[in-house]
Chains A and B, each alone.
Chain A
Amino acid sequence: MELFGVALSMLLLFSGFGVLIGLLFGFFGMGGSFLVTPALMVMGYETDVAVASGLAFVFATSVIATLKHRDLGQVDYKLGVLMIAGTTGGIEVGKIGLHWLQDIGLADTVVSIIYVGLLGGIGLFITYTATRGSSGGGIDHDVADDAEIDGEDIPDIAKKIQSYRIPPMMQLRGGISVSLWMILGVAFATGLLSGFLGVGGGFIRMPALFYLVGVPVPVAVGTDLFEIVFSGGIGSFLYAMDGAVDLSIVVPLLAGSALGARLGAAATSLVDESEIKVYFGVMLLLGAIAVAIRKVGEFADVPVLQTVSLVIILGAAALVSGAVVVSSVRALRTESAPSTGAAD
């Protein structure tokens, strides 16, 4: 059976996967794009289709996030426009690089290896910080408008980088003066990641804006959201010109993800994320293992490993989002149960 020319089973698969992705990343306050592209590759899609569809997903989710935040917090528009210019350049170079690797038959291998490192690295970091009871030092879009990080927390290397004053210098909000090359360098690097891997890059851009460019946290958050809408749109447009954006993936994935993100965001008021964050870290580690298993299966010509990797990546996402749902329902029922203790 088909709907809009796409098999109903595929629509249900992507919608269901979208709900899991949205629930997880809505709950844990991250973008979610860095699990979409590897999952599509594990499902057997061409690398450029996986990256392009991941990027279109990033664009749509950033539009929804922007509508949700509406006032965008504190945006430095001058910084945002410069970031868009640098990011667009990076995306174009990343796209050219990916197509070149695809032409010589190495795109899948190179992107898979990078994803194993990326998912493994972030997974290890989250698992490590979760087991140590630390917040992990990350910055997400739900940070408070008046949030600030103690100057003592800025590593020496970041202070050293901020101290380089290569002209031309740009004046930013809050009286900050920073080299144009630093802004363009950060933007280009994150654009390169977006164009090559199909990720939003906020997990690198926001800390980079704070630590390397030196902008305050609320400005970094608002400007990142402003910037990703444009660069995500431009990036997916560039890929769509080559016909690489697959709507039969993006449309159901987004439909599920937008619903899941609302559920995930609602769950944050019921469950303390630090209680189950370790599972999220383990899930990302399993994602890295799934991508690696698929590649090993290809090299060793063992097709069953393709199925094993798919089961691992979908199963891990289902288990962790299940944990979020179960914890939320338990918290709701505990909340509504009659209290037996004395009032204080």
Chain B
Amino acid sequence: MFGLENATGIGGAALVIGVVLLEALVLYVGYGLLERVAGPALIEALRGGS
């Protein structure tokens, strides 16, 4: 994935772990925003729109 299938050694490992770390940070921020924006509407919809 992302052309890192054959990444080995210190440089390759740093790239692979860097991708995982970056994804964790992006997901934390992204899902946090999504929860804030769409959370109340989702809860309302699940409640049956009452």
Contact = CB atoms under 8 A, between A and B. Distances in A.
Contact of B28 (A67, A240, A337): A67
Nearest to A252: B1
A282 interface: no
A63 interface: yes
B8 A336 contact: no
A59 B17 contact: yes
Interface string B22-34: 0111011001000
A333 B48 contact: yes
Contact of A336 (B4, B7, B25, B47): B47
A116 to B, nearest CB: 28
Chain B contact residues, majority secondary structure: helix
Contacts of B9: 241
Contacts of A248: 1
A40 interface: no
B20 A59 contact: yes
A232 B22 CA distance: 15
Interface in B1-50: 1-10, 12-14, 16-17, 19-21, 23-25, 27-28, 31, 35, 39, 43, 46-48, 50
Shortest 7 CB-CB distances between A and B: which pairs?
A240-B13, A247-B1, A258-B27, A243-B8, A60-B24, A63-B24, A336-B47
Interface of A: 4-6, 56, 59-61, 63-64, 67-68, 233, 236-238, 240-243, 245-248, 250-251, 254-255, 258-259, 262, 266, 328-329, 332-333, 335-337
